Every structure is written in C-alpha cells, then in structure tokens.
Structure 1
C-alpha cells in the first residue's frame, strides 16, 4: 500500500458555455496516510470527484504535484499508477460470468493462470461471491454487482483503491449493508482507500478522516468526531450532522449574555473568555437539534437557558421526535425525546444546552474559538 500527497493542487476547466475558465479545485494540499480510509464529501460540484480523478490520472491537474508513495505521478499514465478504481456504474461485462469478469483485467496484464486463480478465489471468498461465479451480471442484485466491481479492484492488489460514489445506485437498505461490508473489507485488506460521496452519513460511517469540500475549496480535514464537535465554519457545521445544525442570529450583549430576538441566554462560565472580543457584536449561534430539549425530558443538562416556543410542526419518529419552530427568520429543528408531545400552534418550554453551543463570525462564517 502507499500514502498519497496532494501538494498545492489546482484544476481549472474551460467554461464552453460562458467562456473563460472555472476552478474546480483550488490550491488543495493534504496527505492521505498509508492504509487510511479517507473520504471526500461535499455537495455536487464541490471538486471531490475531480480530486479523485486527478489521483487516478483521469484528469491532469493544472498546477501542483501528486505523490503516490515516494513517486511524483504528474505525468504517469493511470495504468502505471498502481491504483484500482470502482465507479458508480458497476461497468460489468454482461456476456461474461462473474468469474470471467474478475479474471478479465488480470488476463490483460498477462498474469499467470495460477496467480489469476489464486487472486480470484481470494476476492470471491472475502466478498461472499463463491456461489455466484458461474452467473452473469443480470442474475445478480445491485449489491451483488457492486461486490463484483469491488472484486475486480481487489484482484489487482493495487497500492490504492479509489471509490467514486459506489453506493449511490443502491436502495437505502442495501447502502447500509454495503457500508458495513466496505468497512470490514478495509480492516481485512489494510488498504489505502480514497472514497468520494455526497452522503455525509456515509462519510461519517466509513471515513477515518474526512475532507469536506465546497466550491473547489477544502473546508476542513478531520476525523468524523472532530468535524461534528468542532466544525471549522458554518458550512461544515451545517453539512455534517442530520438534521443539520441550527443557526440563530444573535448579539453578544455582555461577556456572559447572548440575546436572540427577545430571548436572553446565559453563556456557560467555561466559554465566556473565548468570546470576550465579540462583546457588543452580532454573531451566529450554532446549536445542534439534539441539544434542544423539551423541558420535561431535560434530565441531564442545565435548564437555566429555556424559552416558551410556539411549535409549527412535529414529526414522530418512534424513539425520538423532531419539533419545528421559528426564532426570528430562522426555522429551527429540535430532536427531542420520543415521549415528548406538543400540538402544532401550542407553546412549550424548551431548554437550550449552551454547553454545546458554537459561535460563528457573521462576516467570515468561521467558528470563533
């Protein structure tokens, strides 16, 4: 296996419709560690797939250097980079059996028959394909076809595995199953895996570290836990987490009080010092839905910051409920206890756990540390 270094990578494309150029990836620098499972995540057009394709050699960077292991691969053909790529489309040969699909790439590489047999048996065993080798792709489910596509990558025994949204064609239940299988596969292979997805749940489930991208810029690189707890800016805070973080227009009236509309909240003593430079200024308060409680069920958090809120709607999800209400122009979501109940239009006391709050600069949208 091998590490990957992206050094000041920029990729621009010609905009044929509007003329000129646009930047798909702007001055990105980071290292993917040997045997790491790293995930690129972000909305459509953020540059994540372009980054993956540059690692693969399917796109040539406009500037910067890419290293795989200790080699600069800028001018290296994809077939010489010792990588294997799994695409969103399974791209299996329909007229071939599963065994023949697995063998195909190895035969083109002039691999010996003994080695082909050994590698196909290994991939088939760890992916649970042994009983399907004589079938053709049309006889398999979507999840089974994706396993075959992964198997074609495994038999090559590459330095790096690249996955481009491989689960997006599967239904929700199969995606969950395949996520588990891919996580287990990484543990078995000890492989360097680079994975692209637009699904933040998928990213948080699979990634040891995650690269969050938006508009060609790397927003933050961190573990799932760090991204969730300490987002670098409002984009990361709003993109990571389901439901996403709530944002409130606020004013830091004193070092220890925060006003949101007519509501005055007390800032926890442990957080007062880090916000002292913003006293008297407008800020954005970020608070996750699970940090807003129905007062009746706020058993484990301070209850000094609470307000009577008129509820717009409630979604019953069984073990938990989602409550929707407005503060100012912002629609707010609270994820509350499953036994909590309120009718739309009624007011109820909700507790805001500001021990878990984030404040963001209103101009830069960066988190205030």
Structure 2
C-alpha cells in the first residue's frame, strides 16, 4: 500500500462556450498509507475530478500527484498501480463471476495458479464462493457491487479508489455495504480513497473526511472533529443530519439577541464575541441541541425561545419540529413525547454550550483566537 499526495493540484476545463472554469483549485493534502479517506461534497464540487486525477483518467492542469514514492503526473492509469470501483459496477454480462474477477489478471498474463489463488482469496473475503459460476444478471445489486470490489482486490493495488459505489443500492443495502467496506478495510489494511455525496456515508466510513465545495477544500478532519468544530458555515451545514440550523443574531455586550429571545452568554463565549458587540452574527445550533421545554434533562432552562410550530414529523424514536426564527427555518430534534401541535406557539430551550458562532461576511466560525 502507499500514501497519496496532492501538491497544489489544479484542474481547469473549457466549457461549451469555450470559457475556462476551475473544477479543482490548488488542492494540498496527504492521504497516509493504509488510511481510509472520504471526499464529500455536493454535485460539481470537484470530488470525482480529484479521484479521476489520482487514477490518471484526468490530467491535472498544474501541480504534482504522488502515489507512494513516485510522481505520477505523466504515468498512464495502468502504470499507477491503482484499482478503481465505479458506481455502475462495470461487470461483463457475458462472463461468469469467476471470469469477471480474473479478467484483469488474465490481461496481465499472470500464471493460471496465481490467478486462481487471487480469485479464491477475494471470493472468500467477500462471500462469493457459492456464486462464482453465475452471471451478473443472476445477482442482486449488493452482490454485483461485491464482485466489482473483488475485481479490484485481486489486483492487489497500492491504492483503492471508490467512485460513489453505493449510490445505486437501496437504503438497507447501503447500510449493509458500509459495514462490509469498513470490515474490508480492516482486513486488507489498504489505502482507500472514497468519493460520495452522502455525508452519512462519509461520517461512518472515513477515518478522515475531505469536505469540498466549488473546487476548493473547505476542511480536512476526522468525522468527530468536523461535527464538533466545523471551520465554516458550509461545513457546519453539510455535516450532520438534519443539518445545523443558522439563526440571525446580534451581539450586545454579554447578551445575544434573536427574533423571539434574548440570552445571556457564558463568560468564555462573551469574551470570544467581544469584537462583535453591536454587530450581526450567525448563530449555529444543531437540531439535537434544541429541546422542548417539557423534556430538557441536564440542560440549563434559562435560554428560552418562543416560536410558532409549523410542522411536526413523528418518527417514532424522535420528533422533528419545524418553526421559523426571523426568516430562517429551524429544525428541532426533540423527545418523542414532547407535546406540540401545528400552529401553536411553544417555548424551546437552546443549549448554548453547543452553539457555534459565525461571521456573516466571511462565513468562518468565530474562534476568538
């Protein structure tokens, strides 16, 4: 296995109007040997372009790409010692699973005994032993995806690349395959670069996550760090489900004013926001840190917000309550026994210990440093 490094990598395309646009802007990062790193972001953010540049399917406009101890800028994809798993499986329908698994090795003219050993190892790891003589059409979506992964495993590459491999599966199969991919990473000790638009997938699979938007890396961190300390409003709003709420607010010395409430700030927060006294900021709070006033165990009840409930979604283990604060729609994830009805006014309690504060001009989190 090997590390992967981007050094000031930039990728520019020419659109249909013959105007240049930048898909990836000045990326710098290192993926360590045997690390599982996930690229996540909305469509068009540059995550798949980054993956394709690692694979050699796209040529970077500038910068260097390193795999292991080699700069691979000018290496053909087949010479980069990588294996890629695509979204659409890309299996040969006329071949058996055994033939699909061995196809790459047969093309490389590997000895028959070696091919059989590698196919046996991969099919054993992925639970494909009993279906090696079947054709792809006889398999479920999850089984086909395992075959596609197996075809990569038999190559024994330095780096595995996954391009949204679970997006064609139903919700139950996606959960199952996430577990299988995590277990596979542990067994192989492989370097894995994985692309997805699904932040739940990113949070459950990645040891570190690269969050991208409009071709720019916003933050690289562990799932826990991204959740607890987002660098800016984009990361804060993208990571977490339901998404973080953003509320327009104003700082007045040691208090923060929002539509429907006024709160005294803890000393450390007041010190952090001292430069913003008399100014507008954006308060960020996650839905799980807003409580109905009848279920708020262990939370200070002094920070109360009055709002009119618009919609309640009853999900069994929790309720999602929607209401407006000023022009912002806010979601609260509350106890399932919390009482509240559409159209009625209710008090909600905010856990200010868990709040984040953002500069509305830069959208960066205010750290006070």
TM-score range, shorter chain: over 0.9
Q: Does 1:357 align with 2:355?
A: yes
Residues 43-58 of structure 1: matches in 2 within 5 Å? 43-58=42-57
Structure 2 unaligned runs (5+)? none
For residue 9 of structure 2, what is the aligned residue in structure 1? 9
- TM-superposed deviation, 1:296: 1.0
Alignment of 1:93-172 (within 5 A): 93-172=92-171
| Secondary structure in 2 matching 1:235 | helix
Distance in 2, Cα, partners of 1:353 & 1:92 = 51
Offset at 1:268? 1.9
**Inter-partner Cα distance in structure 2 for 1:292 and 1:72:** 50
Give the match's secondary structure for 1:30: strand
Pairing 1:273–2:271 present = yes
Shift in Å at residue 213 of structure 1? 0.3
CA RMSD in angstroms comes to: 0.7
CA distance in 1, matches of 2:26, 2:90: 32
- Cα offsets for 1:229-280 (capped at 9, x unmatched): 10000000000010000001100111x2100124211212232222111111
**Equivalence for 1:326:** 324
Query: What is the DSSP-based 3-state SS (H/G/I as helix, E as strand, rest coil) of the residue aligned with 1:272?
Result: helix
CA drift at 1:154: 0.1
> Is 1:368 aligned to residue 366 of structure 2?
yes
CA distance in 2, matches of 1:308, 1:196: 41
- For the 8 Å contact 2:260–2:306, the answer to whether it is kept is no
Deviation at 1:308?
Answer: 2.5
1:44-83 aligned at under 5 Å gives the runs: 44-83=43-82
TM-score (ref. length: structure 2): 0.98
C-alpha distance in structure 2 between counterparts of 1:60 and 1:307, whole Å: 53
Instruction: List alignment gaps of at least 5 residues for structure 1.
Output: none
Q: How many residues align?
A: 367
User: How much has 1:211 moved relative to structure 2?
Assistant: 0.3
User: 1:180-329 counterparts in 2 under 5 A?
Assistant: 180-254=179-253, 256-329=254-327
> What is the CA–CA distance in structure 2 between the aligned matches of 1:341 and 1:143, rounded to whole Å?
41
Over 6 Å off, 4+ runs: none
From 335, 338, 356, give the equivalent of 2:336: 338
CA contact (8 A) 2:261 2:306 kept: no
- Residue 122 of structure 1 aligns to a residue in which SS? helix
Q: TM-score, normalised by structure 1?
A: 0.98
Measured in 1, the distance between the counterparts of 2:11 and 2:88 equals 24
- CA deviations 1:125-183 (Å, max 9, x no partner) are 01000000010000000000000000000000000000000000001110000000000
Deviations along 1:21-55, one digit per CA (max 9) or x if unpaired, are 00000001000010000000000000000000000
* SS of aligned partner of 1:297: coil
Cα pair 2:260 2:305 within 8 Å, conserved: no
Mapped contact 2:260–2:307 kept (Cα < 8 A) = no
Once the 2 structures are TM-superposed, how far is the Cα of residue 307 of structure 1 from its aligned partner? 2.2
